[in-house]
Amino acid sequence: MNCIIKVENLGKKYQLNHLLSRSKDDMFFSSVKNKAKSFLKGKQVAEEFWAIRDVSFEIQKGDRVGIIGRNGAGKSTLLKMLSRIVAPTTGRIEYNGRMASLLEVGTGFHGDLTGRENIYLNGSILGMRKHEIDARFDEIVDFSEIEKFLDTPVKRYSSGMYVRLAFAVAAHLDPEILVVDEVLAVGDAAFQKKCLGKMQDVSAKDGRTILFVSHNMPSLTNLCNKGIVLKNGTIHQPLCNINDAVRSYVDLAESIEYQEIAARTDRQGEGKIKLTNCTVLNSENKKVNICVTGEKVILKLDYESLDFKNLDNITFAISINGSDGTFYSLIGNEFSGNPFQGLPSSGAVYCIINKWPITSGRYGLNIAINQNGFMQDWIKDAVFIDVEDGDYYGTGRLVPGTHRCVLMENTWKENL
């Protein structure tokens, strides 16, 4: 009786060539081509693609469920079907009560309308009645912290104000079921926290059911109590405790193949200087796959420039992230006071970390190359470093393995 959402054998099929021809500009020609093809071959050339297949689960009232999966795993399609935006190809969904979906911040906001007008418009789009908005209007304005600009068109708002206003409306929705896509990725950290807090609050107090999609593992474990992991449109890990789900997702993420840096195309930046390789060396300058906490680690960054001139004012920066997306550190030659002038147009630079400070786990390095303050190249997870616990303090004692953390030099005394 407590089951609030019941999903049975849900599936969504898309036809690939259909979508492709639609996105092309010369639709006429491609459709003529398709017609000719199907005429010659005697059948329609259609490739089927199941974005979601055979997904079934039941969610209890008051559960806060995180839906986890890599890009393309079908999370968004699942949410869209649950919130009735797209219709399923197979299967059945049953739920009790009102459902509100938050797949985007500020759906239907119109730049020419004032903050006040947009609150009413957005509220009614999200499914609130006029009297409900009237009743919560002051709360919404308070929450958004934009009281002074209530009668200014939102196109004059800063992006932060815009997001705050949009969230404020969404945070005051009052459905039995709330479906939230990765909308919390925008907005500043403090406000994100406020929103999460608000959602947690309502969920705990009124037993509201929440379905939440995010790539940010800390916010998932904070907000949710259960999780589902999706992989290629099917359920990889059925509904379980959120910590088990996150672990299962991390295992899944780590098993993906590693791609050569030089071959990667998912880069950002102007691209005049490119990172071509990154290798991890140990204290004997030998290439290693695993490094040990407390030992010397050298990162060799190979780069290449389009110009043949020597390169000035170049900075390299590396950010170190856990496999769950937790940010650990940002290092760069600019911060450590080792500027590079007159570098050859292609070559390598070395980053020496005397004592690797982070405990065991797998860490992804995002690497950026800047010149004169302009980003030339940026690669997410350019290389992964596997770390094993080592004797950081030289005492033979390790920090407990349950604590994945950054270690610091410290000494303890009875008197100063």
Partner 1 sequence: MQLNILTILWVYLKCLMKTIVDSQKANVLNLTEIFRFKDLLWNLAMRDVLVRYKQTIMGVLWAIVRPLVNIIIFGLLSQFIEHSTNVADKLVTVSAGVIIWGLISTSISDISNSILNNSNILTKVYFPKLIIPLSSLAVCLIDFAISFVILLIVKIAFVGMPSVAFFLFPLFVLYALVFSFSIGLFFATLNVKFRDIKFIIPFLLQVGFYVCPVFLSTQFYLDKLPEVLKPVFLSNPLVSIIDGFKYCLIGAEFLVPQVYFISGIVITLLLLFFSLRYFVKFEKTFADYI
Query: Which positions touch partner 1 (CB under 8 A)?
Result: 11, 14, 22, 80-81, 83-99, 101, 103-104, 107-108, 110, 112-113, 117, 120-121, 124-130, 153
Instruction: Identify the CA nearest to 298 among candidates 318, 324, 276, 328.
Output: 318
- Minimum distance of partner 1 from residue 159's CB (angstroms): 18
Taking the least distance from each CB to partner 1, the nearer of 87 and 190 is 87
- Minimum distance of partner 1 from residue 11's CB (angstroms): 8
Taking the least distance from each CB to partner 1, the nearer of 51 and 161 is 51
DSSP summary character for residue 373: T
CA 236 – CA 32 distance, rounded (Å): 41
Taking the least distance from each CB to partner 1, the nearer of 124 and 232 is 124
Give strand ranges (E) for 282-391.
290-292, 297-305, 314-322, 327-332, 346-353, 361-371, 374-388
Cα 81-82-88 angle, rounded to 5 deg: 35
Residue 211 tokens, joined: 């379905």
Please name every residue paired with 300 in a beta bridge, in sequence order, or none if there are none. Answer: 279, 350
Helices 115-125 & 159-171 angle (0-180, nearest 10) = 40
Residue 374 tokens, joined: 């302009």
- Minimum distance of partner 1 from residue 113's CB (angstroms): 6
Backbone angles phi, psi at 188, to 5 degrees: -80, 160
- Minimum distance of partner 1 from residue 25's CB (angstroms): 12
CA 196 – CA 102 distance, rounded (Å): 13
- Minimum distance of partner 1 from residue 104's CB (angstroms): 5
- Minimum distance of partner 1 from residue 263's CB (angstroms): 34
Q: Tokens 């959120």 map to which residue?
A: 242
CA 407 – CA 399 distance, rounded (Å): 9
Taking the least distance from each CB to partner 1, the nearer of 8 and 389 is 8
CA 360 – CA 391 distance, rounded (Å): 12
User: What is the CB-side half-sphere exposure of residue 136 using CA atoms within 13 A?
Assistant: 19
Taking the least distance from each CB to partner 1, the nearer of 123 and 227 is 123
Taking the least distance from each CB to partner 1, the nearer of 97 and 347 is 97
- Minimum distance of partner 1 from residue 398's CB (angstroms): 49
Taking the least distance from each CB to partner 1, the nearer of 103 and 150 is 103
Taking the least distance from each CB to partner 1, the nearer of 96 and 232 is 96
* Amino acid of residue 25: D
For residues 86 and 77, the answer to whether their CB atoms sit within 8 Å is: yes
Taking the least distance from each CB to partner 1, the nearer of 33 and 156 is 156
Taking the least distance from each CB to partner 1, the nearer of 37 and 98 is 98
Instruction: Identify the CA nearest to 353 among candidates 295, 305, 301, 310.
Output: 295
- Minimum distance of partner 1 from residue 366's CB (angstroms): 30
CA 113 – CA 106 distance, rounded (Å): 13
- Minimum distance of partner 1 from residue 39's CB (angstroms): 20
Cα 238-243-246 angle, rounded to 5 deg: 70
- Minimum distance of partner 1 from residue 53's CB (angstroms): 13
